[in-house]
Amino acid sequence: MKWHEYALNADKNSRHVLGISGGKDSAALAIYIKEHYPEISEKMEYFFTDTGAELQEVYDTLDKLEAYLGKEIVRLGSEKPFEYWLRLHNNYLPSPRQRWCTRTMKIKPFEKFVGDDPVISYVGIRADENREGYISQRETIKAVFPFAEDGLIRDDIFQILEDSIGIPEYYEWRSRSGCYFCFFQRQDEWLGLKRRHPDLFEKAKKIEQDVAKRKFDWGKAEVEECGQGYTWSQTGTLEEIVLRAEEKEKKAGQTGKKSSERWQDVLRNEIDDDPEDQACLICSL
């Protein structure tokens, strides 16, 4: 049975939910369903799990999408700021192997939102991707994959957005939505944060500096740690990362010509993100 047949024939008590991340795929999926499957769109509940550490550009995209859909995007949250959860996790920064931020600040609020209700969750994974996203272990939650089943690929998603709300602005310098301190950011993306949101960069740097300090038990000496759990990236501190990015940018400027293409077109033609490099899989709901 096709995904839309399953959705249309579902029990009337089933809830239809689509998680919006502020990124391209989930936004495009909401628009795609509204335009091609209006009967399903009418039943849909949209939600956004707000960590409190999102970029302003994400909120701007949510506002545009909300207006286009003509429906509210319910804002969920973990009820506590990141710093609270950081202390609760012994001041150990999240990392690709320790994604406590996703579990605590994304998944738990979502599961609280749906409770024990029967739910059909619409996931924005495309036909040209090789990943699963967040799949709940609850028997009451059934995931469906409209893009994957209908054969939509990366280029289709960009076309949907260009024809409607536009591509989220942060993609001009960043490859994904998510928290301003996301540990999956590349060197050039940390540099982009420093230039476009210097206040947020300084906040991320302060969190890192505070976490990196470790005192010996006898309290007579202090040492700074570096690496997983102590810095946002295992490749060094934020200061070191942006310095390397600036040096790389300078060398590229000396040897190459600046592209005259729109950043939207450059982005559209890029190779997609590594499937192993998915920061917040709950956002694929």
Sign of CA dihedral 37, 40, 41, 47: negative
> In what order do the strands lie in the sheet containing 141-144?
73-77, 44-50, 15-19, 119-122, 141-144
DSSP string, 200-233: HHHHHHHHHHHHHEEE-TTSS-EEE--SBTTBSB
Taking the C-alpha atoms of residue 270 and residue 155, their distance in angstroms, rounded to an integer, is 10
Give me the tens of pLDDT residue by residue for the chain, a chain 285 residues long. Answer: 899 999 999 999 999 999 998 899 999 999 999 999 999 999 999 999 999 999 999 999 999 999 999 999 999 998 899 999 999 998 899 988 888 998 899 989 999 999 999 999 999 999 988 765 555 667 899 999 999 999 999 999 999 999 999 999 999 899 888 899 999 899 999 999 999 999 999 999 999 988 876 554 445 555 556 666 789 988 899 999 999 999 999 988 766 555 667 767 777 677 555 444 454 555 443
Task: Say if CB 227 and CB 136 are below 8 A apart.
Answer: no
Task: Say if CB 160 and CB 17 are below 8 A apart.
Answer: no
Query: What 3-state class would DSSP assign to 193?
Result: helix
Amino acid identity of residue 27, one-letter, is A
The whole-angstrom distance between residue 95's C-alpha and the CA centroid of its chain comes to 14
User: Distance of CA 228 to CAs 83, 136, 204, Å?
Assistant: 18, 27, 15
Amino acid identity of residue 176, one-letter, is R
Beta strands at 213-215 and 222-224: parallel, antiparallel or unpaired: antiparallel
Please name the helix (run of DSSP H) or strand (run of DSSP E) that holds residue 160, with its range, or none.
helix 154-162
Length of the chain: 285
Please name the helix (run of DSSP H) or strand (run of DSSP E) that holds residue 73, with its range, or none.
strand 73-77
Query: What 3-state class would DSSP assign to 276?
Result: coil
Task: Say if CB 280 and CB 129 are below 8 A apart.
Answer: no
Please name the helix (run of DSSP H) or strand (run of DSSP E) that holds residue 30, with its range, or none.
helix 24-36
Q: pTM here? A: 0.86
